[in-house]
Amino acid sequence: MANTENRRLMYTCICNAIRECDLRKAARQHNGNAESVYAKLGKKPNCGNCLEEAEDVIREEREALIDPAIAA
């Protein structure tokens, strides 16, 4: 459990200081790709190195909404 909590506190986007937990919350509240979710957070990608990881996090979160067993 502690490992999961530490992961959620990690930064997904260093340029914008977006934590994984913030990205997950925004993904649950907003449809669209990473750039669209960043906009929901009032941010925009700068260097772009985070976008692939952000897309993975967003996809995981949305799959968990469809199938709660995935989140476990």
The number of C-alpha atoms within 13 Å of 65 and in the hemisphere containing its C-beta is 13
Alpha helix ranges (H) inside the chain: 2-9, 20-29, 34-40, 51-66, 68-71
Coil/strand/helix, residue 12: strand
Span 2-44, pLDDT tens digits: 555 566 689 999 999 999 999 999 999 999 999 999 999 999 9
Give residue 21's Cα distance to chain centre.
7
pLDDT band at 69 (very low <50, low <70, confident <90, very high): low
Q: How far apart are the C-alpha atoms of 50 and 64, rounded to whole Å?
A: 21
